[in-house]
Chains A and B, each alone.
Chain A
């Protein structure tokens, strides 16, 4: 298992998540793709931590997990509010800032 392989793997996963954020119109799937992107970054940090023999990367992963948890809570609260207000969870329906 070379470092190169893990870096390319995490690039691949990150780009997959990015395509999901850019292409999908369902807001839940966009959020899932966002989480998957963060997860790909976590893989990169842990593999760097292994090959540099320092624990700093793993500490950063803990921070990223914390931020991701807070971000998901707020994003899902927003989604619930949007659904209550306009009854839809498609991104294209959110063109109007005022509803």
Chain B
């Protein structure tokens, strides 16, 4: 029952975040909203019995892709960076407290003090073990092709960004 409520809340938050990411005026706000949407999606994946994909989602989308977007955006707007001193608004303190709370709860969950509710599991269906078995057993060729696609992506990006020699 608790996972149903959490799923509906996550769905509403996802829709709001998506709309904000699309209508935001500043590209930085749009990229940050994209990161929040990816975090919410990873939470949805946990609720839908895909814990491994949730971890992959956070590592690749938030850890690599969002950082890449922010790098490119900040490269463009270097002269628009404000030098005003940082003001500690209530939202700053609130976000600090929320992150602290999340870290504490995950620490005590790892210690086993707080029990995971029904529906949250990292074993069985959708675990890293099962995904790895499927990937190596039935999807070996697509897996290798994916690695090749990544290699081509690296070369493509390097070729675009490289300075051309004057002939």
Contact = CB atoms under 8 A, between A and B. Distances in A.
Contacts, number: 156
Contacts of B146: 62-63, 66-67
B155 to A, nearest CB: 10
A28 B72 contact: yes
A39 to B, nearest CB: 6
Nearest to A12: B15
B149 A62 contact: no
Interface stretch (B31-39, B82-90, B91-99, B107-115): B31-39
B153 A69 contact: yes
Interface string B59-89: 0110011001100110110000000000000
Interface in B9-29: 11, 14-15, 18-19, 21-22, 24, 27
A76 interface: yes
Interface of B: 3-4, 7-8, 11, 14-15, 18-19, 21-22, 24, 27, 30-31, 34, 37-38, 41, 44-45, 47-50, 52-53, 56-57, 60-61, 64-65, 68-69, 72-73, 75-76, 125-126, 130-131, 134-135, 138-139, 142, 146, 149-150, 152-154, 156-158, 160-161
Given A16-B19, A72-B68, 7 more contacts: A23-B22, A28-B72, A39-B61, A58-B50, A59-B131, A74-B156, A81-B161
